[in-house]
Structure 1
């Protein structure tokens, strides 16, 4: 049975990518469950370890958000939700971003306070197999064990996010990068305490907290702009998505089209496109010609789920109408 996003049937490559993404998110949750337990058992009074533990717990948000969103978007559009359930991806993205931002702000304040007040976190010993060893060794060993898998997870998820145009999966890949950087920072902080540098722990905790806060800011901004129907961008928000230009180029090549301009709404995984077309004089398209043009646009990319072709006398300003063109000339 083919995998789908709502009424959009996925091509073979994207279908395979979706199944891989679901599997790797379950693996991520299993790994984080082990890592969270392990770090909790050895974190002691270290600020850096506490920040790393909280960061690991927050890392559960994107995988759960992705798995929930995938279930919701598979529902078909209905009378109540005529555009389908694809916006659940944006909502999940926003929830994850707010959680990261809130906790990052709290940890930044907490870590900075500890650094300013010159707190000296004690790290004692623990009896293990009849021998007393410094707890810091266990802390560093635990954090070292949490480094390799997040690096691999992040690389795989980044590739899958591009194939599926999934910004929640991209945010999760970004979180995996923060995970291993956090682990490395915690090791440095604990090692600093062992060397007598009391400030190293709070400094490492502050580094981790700022990293979480930065991730929260980026993801909140991206999710809010998507929910506000900003111009559709690539999965990493790096540039405008090329599908809009492809649609305009295809329509512009039709014999009855004089001018064309499109606006693209990113629904989560798929796009809804409105293309405004100024026909050539005396060449108003028939219903058959409009249907053929619509189908050709949908065939360009699997993400083009809905497209509306609107014959119009003059292009609206926001898609390249005359007022916008005159403004562009003045700006030059």
Structure 2
């Protein structure tokens, strides 16, 4: 058989790779798997794995002066000014720029434009406020306080805020006495307290802030006036406290109710005012008719008249109720203390 006919015969057979060895079919077959020597000839075999060579260079560390570096293998690798270098000539470091100029180092990784250096702890960010906004990180906390009605406009970069409202406190009840008798009104109730966390999208461009007025104290036989409602839009609402009842010969001076729960993640009722006294005996005299204290405290103090008539004490802090008036063995009409106005405080968490 000549060479051409032999080549044609070989090409009629099929080659196959199995278990990393390469085989050539030498006889027609069906489903005869290598290495069956009747049908397959080994063309190449998988070699043995050789020894693993040394690493080209060590894991990079920060360059330090007066330090021994080696050309290896493995060669020393360092990071200097955000770029990575591999040692070409073993040496003890002095000044990096001098060693580099002397050919002891070769740069293998260059710092890209705009890259950050870990040594700078993010101080090299081009726009820190914008970066914080992109990842929703807080950079500064700001506070806006409202003692009167107005408009809340979020600070630049506000991510979310916590709104706190307290309603106005109710006024204390008045009192009208009679000879040989002791009457005192009831204290005004405090405003309720509400708290809400709101996102920037929930606030929008702005929100109207309404601060509830404190209720006036009742004169003589009149009840105290209720405190007003404090709100930031409709998101957070705190109701005002009720006025205390007048103490006189026709009625007992009950304390006013605290403001009813309003709107918010937390919506708490206010504290009621203390009730007054109704006594046809001049010999019983105790302090009474204190105003309810709000979330911030400071309800108007209770009152005691001693052979005379006394106006009620005004509330002393945001949203608290006024104290009641008292009258002892006198027909004089006296006025309850005024409740204090409400309050709104908004704590903002901003990127800048």
Q: Given the two structures, how large is their TM-score scaled by the length of structure 1?
A: 0.24
Greater helix share, structure number: 1
Greater per-residue strand proportion = 2
TM-score by length of 2: 0.23
Q: Which entry has the higher C-alpha Rg, 1 or 2?
A: 2
